Chain A
Amino acid sequence: MSTVNDVVIKIATVNGTGSASANGLLMKAIFRMGIPVVGKNYFPSNIQGLPTWYEVRVTGKGYQARADHVDVMVAMNAQTYARDMAEVASGGWLIYDSTWPRSRQLNREDIHVLGIPLSKICNENFDGARARILMKNIAYVGALAALLNIDLDVITELLEETFAKKKQLVESNLKAIRLGYDYALEHFSCPLAKTVERMDRTRGHIVIDGNTAAGLGCVYAGATVGAWYPITPSTSLMDAYKAFCKEFRMDEASGGKKFCIVQAEDELAAIGVVLGASWNGARAFTPTSGPGISLMNEFIGFAYYAEVPAVIFDVQRTGPSTGMPTRTQQCDLMACAYASHGDTKHVLLFPANAEECFYSAIEAFDLADRLQTPVMVLSDLDIGMNDWMCPDLQWDETYRPDRGKLLTAEQLDGMEKFYRYLDSDGDGITYRTLPGEHPRGSFFTRGSGHNKFGGYTEDSAEYQDVVDRLLVKWETARKLVPAPLVEYSKFNKEGIISLGSCDGAVREALDLLGERKIGLNYCRVRAFPFNEDVRQFIERHERVYVVEQNRDGQLRSLLTLDLDIDPARLVSVLHYNGMPINARFVVDKLLEKRAGARAAQDTGS
């Protein structure tokens, strides 16, 4: 079936062979032609030698999820050749390096196999082993340009920008592009039945990964202290923060840094640094992933009880334990919501894409300061490390950080006495001072029993008074966190609740189901605790499918726990193999569950 601007290209290479820049070039070129793209990297927990894939979904309709099939496979890795060939959709194309003969056993009658002697061409045209390997990657981009109709001028423009300071690299890269392009033109009938064609759907948009956007958000939120222990897939968040700070946070007069990054000895220390800095009035954060959250538990409970703000980014990866560290999941919802021993619960934010990572970062700092508690931003590897097309990030110059109930020296001057944990406003949020601000503002921060005046206590009533007040604060948090995004029509009797990176797949699934005349309403939760709107959404539907990316239905559990919902109303649709969820999966699984639920209903009645 021939299509325009609807094609999935997957490139199979070996980790460490420099294919990332070639793949980025391919995706960017299509994006610059005005066509929406989705870029996903499937990579091993390895530095060099293991198989890695990059998938570009060209989607004129602007869908955000990964596709469920591959139209064009560029099989550059002999090791995975068999499975790469098997993955091509019927009628699709497989491109391979025909420098060496391929096994005769590996063949498929229902796809087109296109051999290009990439190694041979590059060996003849470039000197040096490294250049030959790198240019082989660029050459397949050239071949794809011919096969798919990608504009060569756009590729040239991108190369000129990338290597603005290294002219000879522009020439060698262009030469490699040309070699691949010409070979394809000469040997195959170009373009293929699936092509790309200029459109105007990417104006005012960027392609960015969630970690970069979150790091930038931390800079804009005014964070000055970042503490971390390197862990995939969160590392690039701190890398981004650091890079932006080096650009925008240097003191012109002294050359000093207006930020401090502490690479701690472990995650326990990283969160300790964040709490110390927040206690002292800096906006501080730590990026981590599941194992880091596990290690931070004791301190998270401390911060909840002693009421110290903190911002934690959990870029979730597949667990349990080390799990598959380079694969994605939404598996830390429960671990984060109730992190630590004792009666604790925490505010969580669920960005759905890279754009929301930027705004969530700013919102997280405001909420942490306002609520004087840890706020966790739960993104995942898919959001954090993959390339997302999103509208330009916008900045409102009138924004000022919400530092919450922070008493100034002037205010303290006018006060007779200051008590740290006295709820004078009835919203459960008490007034806070910063060390060094004023002699009257001193107080003692402790994780041991304390009364509303801030004094140590082992008195039952005094203890309970404080933990009950924390519940009042929890209800305040419920009103302050972002409300869910709800799409509602009264004609639909069933709904979907989902979160985070499931959003793209769910939206696309709703379109697909709509084509079959199955209408569902949609509620995307954006925070925990759940807003009243979430309860209403559930109450308005006979059945709600909860779509999430973990094995045990953690979002469903949270909904039943936090809103006291009858679990029977919530039907799980779960995806947890480590790959990002796609629309086809949602449709198939939902229909299966739906049939099951209806059958059960019929038997029951």
Chain B
Amino acid sequence: MATPAYETHEHDVIVIGAGGAGLRAAIEAAAQGVSVGLICKSLLGKAHTVMAEGGIAAALGNVWPEDNWQVHFRDTMRGGKMLNNWRMAQLHAQEAPERVLELERWGALFDRTQHGLISQRDFGGHRYARLAHIGDRTGLEMIRTLQYHGIHQGIDVYMECNVQRLLKDGDRVSGAVGYWRKNGEMVVFKAKAVVLATGGIGKAWKITSNSWEYTGDGHSLALWAGADLIDMEFVQFHPTHMVWPPSVAGLLVTEGVRGDGGTLKNNKGERFMFNYIPEFFKGETADNEAEADRWYEDKKNNRRTPDLLPRDEVARAIRSEVKAGRGSPHGGVFLDICSRRPADYIRKRLPSMYHQFKELAGVDITKEPMEVGPAQHYVMGGVRVDADTTQGTVAGLFAAGEVAGGMHGSNRLGGNSLSDLVVFGRRAGLHAALYAKNFGGQLVADAGQVDAVVRECLEPLERAGGENPYAIQADLQETMHNLVGIIRKEAELKEAFKRIEALKERAKKVRVDGGRVYNSGWHTALDLRSLLTVAECSALAALERKESRGGHTREDHPFTDDAWGKLNVVLRLREGRVQVSREPLPEMPAELKALFQERK
């Protein structure tokens, strides 16, 4: 065999992605005594988890002793409009408290109750104040805790390494091929098991809270390796982001603002959310301002403020207000906490929000309302996994966090993402390690597969062609923004599909100069492949689901349809084409169904 032009590493388990899920998976796999490689697209500690603000949902019962996993489970399922994988939602609600306490034992300093326990805050769709938090920088504390715990667990960390393709040995995943950003050299990982923890797909949209890393890498790696994706039509447009100045459009404004007493208002000063309470949530939502305001202090005798309806409901309401001409000067609505809470309280509870508006928009949120509007934030869809083990439909492949589908159904509740990361990150690490231990075969990396990936990766540097990768990315973002946004319809989705096909053709002619060393243009060119893949998947699934539910609203099918409520849209790559099918949801057992009959 010729000397390979790339370095090779071997591990029992490799984890791709080093946010909350990836770090937690790597820590757990290492605890099982197997050799672990953790591959980060950026430097360690910079992953998207760092941006999470409001908190981590867990029924600790520190603030409201009435809270328990059943209530959290019920809130999660209702927030997802019952399309969630019930078993994932159950495991999540049951295990989140222990995962939060574990973070505390590893050094996380959560804000405290007056009795010295972990404090919890209100958030949309959660019946009780449930989010453990550190001001409004919970994600930073979480990733730093996992990072500094992780570096002492004997994990090999590969920073600024971009995985481009998974390797297969027959029907089984056997490793991955990537490149080092710092020098552009290719690198091969041989592994018995692979955990995907790559996050989401937000960079396919123009206005998003997601960073450059969110190009759907894990979704695409899984699809290309033959695994199923589910629920790709469900994209969360979080209702509150900065809308001005233009350069910060899409910067997240935490739901914690509303959890801590902030309210949404239109340009007439009306708290418009009272006009948008859907039938499904009427029983548990206050229909007048006095009751909504009392709810913050007395949850027993009052119903929740409609400002804290699930995110899909609030995002649609804001869009309607703006469309009706009742928006703010820069095309959003007003979010007012200054008239409702003292300045000191705001600065203590929401320090990053204060800082962010002050520095980037020149707005003092203790004195003026914020202008906010919806932006792409999260994808509910992802790799179809077994709830208990997180294993995908291809052997040796596991997935946790945003890249996995099913947990959140059609809409994720705020705070359920950070808990998802650690609950299923741990499960992924555990089961990947067990799989690796039971796997008796040889570690193999098929040279033919590796060479093909290497060739494909180097093409943009070598081919003749004139397409600029940034221009293709911008055109895709425009397409998804305009045609696969908050409100969809058939003609537009078909048009989106056509445009994505055209962009795929242009991407084949993308050309970058400047060599392989930390070449941002080359990196952008390579990311286009996964970005176009997930854009296509999302548009295809959105076209298939002919109803409106959660993060998928069809203008031409505006109602929720019970028949669709029993189906997942499943995507799989066969003979070079993405196939779409409708498959039944797992059936919830009777004792859990009973939880939904208790109260409306």
The yes or no verdict on A and B being binding partners is no
